[in-house]
A = this chain, B = another copy of it.
């Protein structure tokens, strides 16, 4: 058992105890450097005896680079972000990196502040997680910081959002929002649905706009006309899903299916349907996006698009340390997962089948 550690044990203390210079201690601690076996042993012993742990801040200062990365999410407790954060944390730990985590609460101003804060911590990589708002001024400001970060030896990593453009020095790992939305909408279309409501948001958030684009493309490909009244843009949460569908139901639902642009929204859709006595999928088919655990908690189980969130996070962590060569922007695949929340629309099924099912 190591001795009870003393206050503020430093490298110099260890050097004194081992009767060597601080340089030698530094070398054995850093590994990769020729040190005589006996000297090394003495040093190792002294470290153990004194309960010494290195001061990483001092090391960071001396080396002028840290082994810390930063990760900015909207909300730590949100499953979407939590799963990505898990991937980042795990891969970072494997790579010997520590993670500073911060929450923007969806404010782009705060996000900007946070990357500056992370910059002050000299984080080697700063990972921005989740969709970004499409805003010219904001993009410019972010590009500035990306450049500053790069100048300081760090790198800005975009995780699940589009690149900044303008040759801003960033790396990115994304997934195909448009493609997943296209797939899941096509699935609905294939079942015979023609009036499919879209519920998502916020307005200019990339995740939402790209998913909406996939929805649109699927409609077009099936020759279904676009209907503004079916598209509801608000937020990415259950309350919005619920309020929207409750409203729809109140005014006589025109849709036979709803594409909840993420699983949280789908939770709200289920609630509204339940309250109104509308059966899923009998009266209304529902699909989601993300495939977070709640998708399998819902009854009927939710058909949705699976995004490998943890993998996304792992890739992002890797991009923080990759050297130029293998720092290729990555894209991970999404996958439609069919469960029990979709059925053919009532109108498409012969009347007899409906009534017999209800008898």
Contact = CB atoms under 8 A, between A and B. Distances in A.
Contacts of A121: 56-57, 68, 98
A58 B55 contact: no
Interface string A233-270: 00000000000000000000000000000000001000
B4 A57 contact: no
Nearest to A309: B77
B57 A61 contact: yes
Interface of A: 2, 4-8, 51, 53-58, 60-61, 64, 66, 68, 75-79, 82-83, 85-86, 89-90, 93, 98-103, 116-117, 119-122, 144, 147-148, 151-152, 267, 293-294, 297-299, 310
A100 B98 CA distance: 7
B54 A152 contact: no
Given A4-B144, A77-B79, 6 more contacts: A2-B144, A5-B147, A7-B151, A54-B120, A85-B101, A297-B298
Contacts of A83: 77
Contacts of A6: 151
A83 B77 CA distance: 5
Nearest to A83: B77
Contacts of A147: 4-5
A152 B85 contact: no
A76 B89 contact: yes
Given A4-B144, A61-B55, A116-B53, A101 B103 contact: no
A4 B297 CA distance: 49
Contacts of A294: 293-294, 297
